[in-house]
Amino acid sequence: MLGKITDEHTSGNNAPTDSIGFAAETLLPARRRASLFIAYCVALAVSGQLAAAQSAPPVPTAPQARFVVVLDAAHGGDDSGGRLVNNQLEKSFTLALSVRLRSLLTARGIQVVTIRESDVAVEPEKRAEIANHAAAQACLSLHASETGLGIHLFASSLSPIQPTRFAAWKTAQAAWVTRSLALEGVLNSALQHAGMSVTLGRTSLPVVDSMTCPAVAVEIAPEMGPDKKVGAGLDDPDYQARVAAALAAALVEWRSEARQP
Amino acid sequence: MIPRHQKLLFGILLLASLVMSVTLWQLRERAHKRLIAGQDSAPTRAPEVTPAEQATLLVASDSDSSMRTQIHSLPLPADPGSRARAVLGKLLDLYAAPDAAHPVPGGGSSVLQVFLLPVPESGAGAAAVVKPKSGDFRANQTGAAPREQPQSGPQLAVVNLTGSFADSHPSGIETETLTVLSICGTLHANQPRITQVRFLVDGQTRATLAGHADLTRTYLAGDTVPAEGTQP
């Protein structure tokens, strides 16, 4: 082909720039040229239809869009986190909660991405990287503490900004803070509906601040009893089950809100 | 029979021993008196007692995740950095008390130094990330501080904590956030020029206080003074 083009230029032929037209006019007989011209027109028409189809607005699809939740069981490996009741480690508690919550969400048809499935250390940057690659609609960072009472929900303390193409790694959550606060509100409603005491706050967690998804840190503390003293402890299986069920219900509600037009 | 010259030699040695004993006793007494006299003549200064002043402390409470303003009277040095250290020392003393609402071991000695620097001018890529709600702390990414210390304008406080304080701090998002928040708010409440706070632990940057709260950021303390009982 390159040789042909070179011959064309050396012969001084003012052929059309279209390579097919050039080949038809210079090398083929008239009948063959006519059939090729028809095929050329058909190809142009087909390609034009394809281009039109590509530029047309997308056809509305069924509301079965992909809904992904990322569960980040905090700590792991050498980082054991805080020490809870009965010498239980925070890393074990969060992993158990993550596994339980994953089962509940999967049973409800929600796709779940877990940061860790065993007692392994995962760097904060890697956690955020996994969450960001998942393109999730909700990211929960699971923690536990013996300090305070009830459930503590934290959104990032970054101020909301408009999304940009390139976001700084340590402040990537800033473009998602508004959605994170909305997710925090849905979690708060579901947990209070389940009869739990909830504290809302803002904080600066390296993992959450680097996530590009609606992200909330959930810290589970001992349950507040009716006399505002410690009720069920973190080692209470019933309390753990109720917390997981309430979180799952909140994420189902979040999915239904996300699918509303 | 003992010869006479031996008796004479024995008497001389005995006499010499007695004389030496008396001389040593006198030298000891003289040295003792000189030592006592030296201690008495050592220059002594009475400690300077600064008048007690009122300091505003933002004291955290774990029970309701709140911070309440408390006024305490304590002697404060004139130097702003030492003054800030004294105020934070009092705050951490409250947290180390047995009946503290926000128990954190360590006490006032956990604050090694507080350095006050002029706030560096933020560049284009150092946009402040501000949380609009009053009572919350804010964070941004700013560069290093210049060396000169102007007489006015906002200041950056660099709080150098001990490693034992960070190691013994209870682990948890809420408790760590309350500690950071109360330190930032207390500094700003007593020295309004302090608008930004950074943290060091034993002179080094540390990722988190006790596994959660980010200590690599610059916290904006300007709006951290909450109303009574405001939650973080």
Q: Compute, in degrees rounded to 10, the torsion defined by CA atoms A83, A89, A91, A93.
A: -110
Q: Which CATH number fits domain A68-259: 3.90.1150.10, 3.40.630.40, 3.30.300.20, 1.10.3720.10?
A: 3.40.630.40
CB hemisphere CA count around A68 (13 angstroms): 13
Tens-digit pLDDT profile for residues A194-224: 999 999 999 999 999 999 999 999 999 998 7
A35 pLDDT band, cuts 50/70/90, is: low
Q: Which residue has the higher pLDDT, B15 or B133?
A: B15
B179 pLDDT band, cuts 50/70/90, is: very high
Question: How far apart (Å, rounded) are the C-alpha atoms in residues A199 and B64?
Answer: 8
Are the beta carbons of B150 and A182 closer than 8 angstroms?
Answer: no
Q: Is B133 on the interface with A (CB under 8 A)?
A: yes
Are the beta carbons of B226 and A202 closer than 8 angstroms?
Answer: no
Question: How far apart (Å, rounded) are the C-alpha atoms in residues B228 and A9?
Answer: 87
A31 pLDDT band, cuts 50/70/90, is: low
Q: Is the pTM of this model over 0.90?
A: no
In chain A, % of residues over pLDDT 70: 74
Three-state secondary-structure class, residue A216:
strand
Tens-digit pLDDT profile for residues A153-174: 999 999 888 888 888 888 999 9
**Which residues on chain A are in Cβ contact (under 8 Å) with B171?**
81-83, 90, 145
Are the beta carbons of A159 and B132 closer than 8 angstroms?
Answer: yes
Q: How far is A170 from chain B (nearest CA, A)?
A: 9
Q: Which amino acid is at B2?
A: I
Domain locations in chain A as residue ranges: 2-55, 68-259
**SS3 readout for A117-156:** CCCCCCCHHHHHHHHHHHCCCEEEEEEECCCCCCEEEEEE
Q: Which residues fall within 8 angstroms of residue B202, CB to CB, at 6 or more apart?
A: B112, B160, B161, B162, B163
Could you tell me which of A106, A77, A69 has the C-alpha nearest to residue A94? A77
Tens-digit pLDDT profile for residues A88-146: 999 999 999 999 999 999 999 999 999 999 999 999 999 999 999 999 999 999 999 99
Q: DSSP label at B97?
A: S
Question: How far apart (Å, rounded) are the C-alpha atoms in residues A145 and A147?
Answer: 5
Q: Is A200 on the interface with B (CB under 8 A)?
A: yes
pLDDT of residue A20: 39
In chain A, % of residues over pLDDT 90: 59
Are the beta carbons of B62 and B24 closer than 8 angstroms?
Answer: no
The token pair that represents A198 in the structure block: 């909830």
Are the beta carbons of B58 and B185 closer than 8 angstroms?
Answer: yes
Domain locations in chain B as residue ranges: 1-44, 52-220
A61 pLDDT band, cuts 50/70/90, is: very low
Interface of B with A in 41-100 (CB under 8 A): 62-65
Contact B177 A206 (CB under 8 A): no
For residue B64, is pLDDT > 90? no
pLDDT of residue A186: 96
Question: How far apart (Å, rounded) are the C-alpha atoms in residues A199 and A207?
Answer: 20
Q: What's the mean pLDDT when you consider all of chain B?
A: 81
**Which residues on chain A are in Cβ contact (under 8 Å) with B217?**
170, 204
For residue B40, is pLDDT > 60? no
Tens-digit pLDDT profile for residues B91-148: 999 999 998 999 999 998 999 999 999 987 764 333 333 343 333 433 333 333 444 4
